[in-house]
Amino acid sequence: MSDVRLIVGIDLGTTNSECFVYSTTTNTPELQYLNGSLTGMYPSVILYDQKAEKFIVGQEAKDNEGAKVWREMKIDLGKGEAKKVTIGSQTLNPITFSTIILKYIYEGLQQAYNDPIIETLVITVPADFKDAERQATLKAAHDAGFEPENEIRLINEPTAAALAYGEKLNEAQTLVSFDLGGGTFDVTFLEYDNIDGVRFYQALKTDGLILGGRDFDRKIIDYLYEGYLATDEGKAYKKDVPFKESFYLSAKNLAERIKINLSKTESVSGTDIIKVNGNRIILEYNITRDQFEKMIEGLVDRTIQMTKKVIGEEEVGCILMVGGSTRVPLIKKKIEEAFPNIPRVDDNPDLIVALGACIQASIISNKKESFLNEILTNPLGISVSGDFVKHMLYEGTPIPYEIEERFYRADDGDEVSAFLVQGKDILLESRNNQILGEIVLTGMKNTEAGAPVDIKIRVDNSGMVEVTASEVEEDGAKFFNNFKIGSTMRVQAQNYADLRAQAFEKYKDKTLQDLTAIADEIIEKIEAREEKVPSDHWLLEKLQSGRYGNLEEFKVIVYRADLKTDLY
Ligand code: AMP
């Protein structure tokens, strides 16, 4: 190991990833050109080389036109095993996908700096990411090999952009970061202040959508596909679903190139060959910027409406354009139309997020005196009275934060349970809500309805959530049941131990295969229910993903699910 110390910032993007390292020699963050990259932008694309038995990552994978590749899996981070994709002999899920991308950067740094010591690592995530997606990002970073001395911190992409832009500002002002990347859109309203050279950033409001450049690419692919079907050669494929699927994968790079060219010129025409299901097909196209703008106008309008909502009646000093997709001329035009009096800053939109991540890492490593206060982007609450959510922490709450509230149990019995929910809706089953986990208190001493239970939610600097529930006894003492939310159900509780013991006893001789069969039966029961509630979806997800994890935890999940489905 060399004694080089690195302070690292990474933008783990849907389309591209970038890395900056704070250099103690120059006291500035420097873009990294790792693994021979000429641009410092690593396409988030992975290919498996059967012969060499290894994964190929980045530009080399992207350039392999026609080959099946894994890409854009960041969109599904947090959704677990359900979103795995198999190509040939290999299967990746969103976490292993992100792990491979981060490992590519990690190994690049190892090589470039000869086994350095990593002090701090900051990775950016879309502001709208909920706990499960944040946990998944963190897991991917650990699995990739990152074990920094200080910590791995996650910060929101738009906040990172503001942090980088703020380096150039002296006067206090309000900023809006309009961040449209490859797969996600985030808009954040922030306050900036500079007091005697010490910078303060306070995020105030934020919102986001799953929408980005890949949706623009798709519109162009639709156009190419329809165009091809209208040719003599293409007619035969009208109802051929495998053809369509293969076409959409193969035309992706071409569509992106056309889109990027349309940012520079008024029209793009040409002839290209793509490989569809092993056959070469010839595509002729002629597409004008005007046509393209009509295709994407509805999508762009959604981003403008959301920005208006976030700005509300506030005075804004400037709008910071972030993310590669803000290079699309229609976006600039629409922003100018909607906010004619607010100056717009287009400041290196592809790299500014990674730069901001590195600045935040240097603040954590005490190389810089600035303060960044983030906010919770998605409210948190627990399920009450069946299918409703009682919010305990609202969006806009500064983080880290901790809150405790007292609840009163509705029914008699020695067990109470509630779901921890993230999302804005009051109805538990709303598709905007995500169940992060189940809080369970078993073996309660006070078994009567009306008995008080205290629930505490803590959100850390990275926006990740931890919950503690405790029974309140007559003398005010608390009987704790700790439950840490994670990508797997990690339960460390004194009285929850009973449930675990019962699960281990019931399934003591069961192998993974036996349990998988039981899990499948339970899944069938749940799926047969006509009206599913989110707890069903949550159980289904756990029963699917649990089987790939630890056998003991899987036993507990199956046991809980079995108890629940017995009630159906
Ligand atoms: P990012 O996540 O910030 O790297 O943004 C990546 C997205 O920006 C991808 O969908 C790219 O196709 C898109 N993009 C990059 N450059 C341009 C450009 N000049 N015009 C239009 N879209 C672009």
Tokens 């993230």 correspond to: 422
Q: What is the CA(141)–ligand 1 centre distance, in A?
A: 24
Find the angle CA(239)-CA(241)-CA(244) to the nearest 5 degrees: 100
- Contacts for 386-392 with beta carbons within 8 Å, 24 or more apart? 386/428, 387/427, 387/428, 387/429, 387/533, 388/426, 388/427, 388/428, 389/421, 389/423, 389/425, 389/426, 389/427, 389/428, 389/433, 391/426, 392/455, 392/457
Strands 152-156 and 117-125: parallel
Kindly provide the residue ranges of all beta strands, DSSP E only, lying in 127-266, ordered along the sequence: 152-156, 173-180, 185-195, 198-209
| Residue with CA at minimum distance from ligand 1 atom 22 | 325
Q: What is the CA(513)–ligand 1 centre distance, in A?
A: 45
**What token pair was written down for 211?**
């929408």
What pLDDT is stored for residue 538 in this prediction?
67
Q: What is the CA(213)–ligand 1 centre distance, in A?
A: 6
Asked if residues 495 and 441 have their Cβ atoms less than 8 Å apart, the reply is: yes
User: Which atom number of ligand 1 is nearest to the Cα of residue 214?
Assistant: 10
| Residue with CA at minimum distance from ligand 1 atom 20 | 260
Find the angle CA(316)-CA(322)-CA(327) to the nearest 5 degrees: 110
User: Which atom number of ligand 1 is nearest to the Cα of residue 322?
Assistant: 3
Ligand 1 pocket at CB < 6 A? 13-16, 181-182, 212-214, 256, 259-260, 263, 323-325, 327-328, 350
3-state secondary structure 231-243: CCCHHHHCCCHHH
**pLDDT tens across the length of the chain (568 residues):** 778 999 999 999 999 999 999 988 888 999 999 999 999 999 999 999 999 999 999 999 998 877 889 999 988 887 766 688 999 899 999 999 999 999 999 999 999 999 999 999 999 999 888 888 898 999 999 999 999 999 999 999 999 999 999 888 888 999 999 999 999 999 999 999 988 888 899 999 988 898 999 999 999 999 999 999 999 999 999 989 999 999 999 999 999 999 999 999 999 999 999 999 888 999 999 999 999 999 999 999 999 999 999 999 999 999 999 999 999 999 999 999 999 999 999 888 999 999 999 999 999 998 888 888 889 989 999 887 656 888 999 988 989 999 998 888 877 877 777 888 899 888 877 777 888 877 777 777 788 888 888 888 989 999 988 888 888 766 655 554 433 333 222 232 333 445 667 888 899 999 888 999 999 998 888 888 776 655 666 678 778 877 766 788 788 788 877 876 654 4
Q: What is the CA(259)–ligand 1 centre distance, in A?
A: 9
Q: What is the CA(217)–ligand 1 centre distance, in A?
A: 10
Q: What is the rounded CA–CA span in Å between residue 286 and residue 269?
A: 4
Phi/psi at 558 (5° precision): -60, -40
Q: What is the rounded CA–CA span in Å between residue 11 and residue 43?
A: 12
Q: What is the rounded CA–CA span in Å between residue 310 and residue 145?
A: 38
User: Which atom number of ligand 1 is nearest to the Cα of residue 212?
Assistant: 10
Q: Dihedral through CA 72, CA 73, CA 74, CA 78, nearest 10?
A: 160
Q: Which residues pair with 455 in a beta bridge?
A: 405, 469
- Enclosing H/E stretch for 375: strand 370-375
Among 277, 78, 315, residue whose Cα is nearest residue 190: 315
Cis peptide before 398 (omega within 30 of 0): no
For the full predicted model, state whether its pTM sits above 0.75.
Answer: yes
Residue 473: DSSP 8-state: P
HSE-up (13 A, CA, CB side) for residue 288 = 3
Q: What is the CA(216)–ligand 1 centre distance, in A?
A: 10
Q: What is the rounded CA–CA span in Å between residue 354 and residue 360?
A: 10
- The alpha-helical segments, DSSP class H, found in 312-400 are 329-338, 352-364
User: Which atom number of ligand 1 is nearest to the Cα of residue 14?
Assistant: 2
Cα dist from 515 to 487, 505, 548, 557, whole Å: 20, 13, 12, 10
Return the best residue to mutate from 325, 348, 351, 352 for the ligand 1 pocket (most ligand atoms within 8 A of CB).
325
Return the best residue to mutate from 45, 254, 260 for the ligand 1 pocket (most ligand atoms within 8 A of CB).
260
| Residue with CA at minimum distance from ligand 1 atom 16 | 324
| CA 553 to mean position of chain CA atoms | 25
Asked if residues 327 and 259 have their Cβ atoms less than 8 Å apart, the reply is: no
Return the best residue to mutate from 12, 15, 287 for the ligand 1 pocket (most ligand atoms within 8 A of CB).
15
| Residue with CA at minimum distance from ligand 1 atom 2 | 181
Q: What is the CA(15)–ligand 1 centre distance, in A?
A: 8
Q: What is the CA(299)–ligand 1 centre distance, in A?
A: 15
